[in-house]
């Protein structure tokens, strides 16, 4: 089971309605309304892995760069 400390260190890549992907922690993701998150990838162990995934999604054309 995840504890609160581990949950905060879990990172997600979330695609918004404007097609841009942003990096969010578990707590930030939980606070978003369902309408604000079209698609998401994760959890990732750290922010660096989430950034690498976001770069890959942009290169693959699944997300627009910010």
Average pLDDT over residues 16-38: 85
Q: Give alpha helix (H) positions in 1-66.
A: 4-8, 26-31, 47-59
Q: What is the pTM of this model?
A: 0.81
Domain parsing of the chain, residue ranges: 4-59
Cα–Cα distance measured from residue 30 to residue 53, given in angstroms and rounded to the nearest whole number:
20
| Of 13, 10, 9, the residue nearest 51 (C-alpha) | 13
Q: Which tens digit of pLDDT belongs to each residue from 31-55?
A: 887 766 679 999 999 999 999 999 9
pLDDT at 1 over 50: no
């Amino acid at each position: 089971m995840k504890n609160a400390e581990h949950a905060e260190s879990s990172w997600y890549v979330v695609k918004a309605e404007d097609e841009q992907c942003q990096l969010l922690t578990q707590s930030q993701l939980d606070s978003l309304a369902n309408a604000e998150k079209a698609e998401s990838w994760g959890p990732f162990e750290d922010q660096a892995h989430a950034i690498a995934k976001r770069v890959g999604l942009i290169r693959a054309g699944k997300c627009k760069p910010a």
